Structure 1
Amino acid sequence: MRLATYLHQGARRCGAVEGDDRILPFPDGTALLDVVASGSVPETGPAIPLADVRLLPPLEPPSVRDFVAFEEHVEGVRKAVDGLSGVPDAWYDAPTFYFSNPHAMVGAHDDVPLPPGCHDLDFELEVAAVIGRAGADLSPGQARAHIFGYTIFNDWSARDLQSREMRVGLGPCKGKDFATTLGPWLVTADELEPYRDADGFLRLVLTAEVNGKVVGRDLLSNMGWPFEDLVAYASRGARLRPGDVLGSGTCGNGGCLAELWGLAAEQTPPPLTPGDTVTLTVEGIGTVSNTIVPGVAPVPIPRARKRTRERP
Structure 2
Amino acid sequence: MRAARLIRMALLIQSNPGLTGAALARELEVSERTVIRDAQALQEAGIPVRSERGRGGGYHLAPGYRTRLTTLHPSEAETLFLSGVPSALRDLGLADAAGAARLKLTATLLPSVRAAAESSVRRFHLDAPAWFREPPTPELLPELARAVWADRTVELSYLRPGPGGAPPSAVSRTVEPYGLVLKAGTWYLVARAPDRGWRTYRVDRVTALDPAPAAQEPFARDPDFDLAAHWEDRSAAFARALLRDTITVRLTAPGLRRLPAVVDGAAVEEALASASAPDAAGLVTLELPVESQEVAFDQLAGLGADVEVLAPATLRTRFRERAAALAALYRADTP
For normalisation by structure 1, the TM-score amounts to 0.21
Q: Which one has more relative contact order, counting CA pairs under 8 Å at least 6 apart?
A: 1
Decide which structure has greater strand share: 1
Higher gyration radius (CA): 2
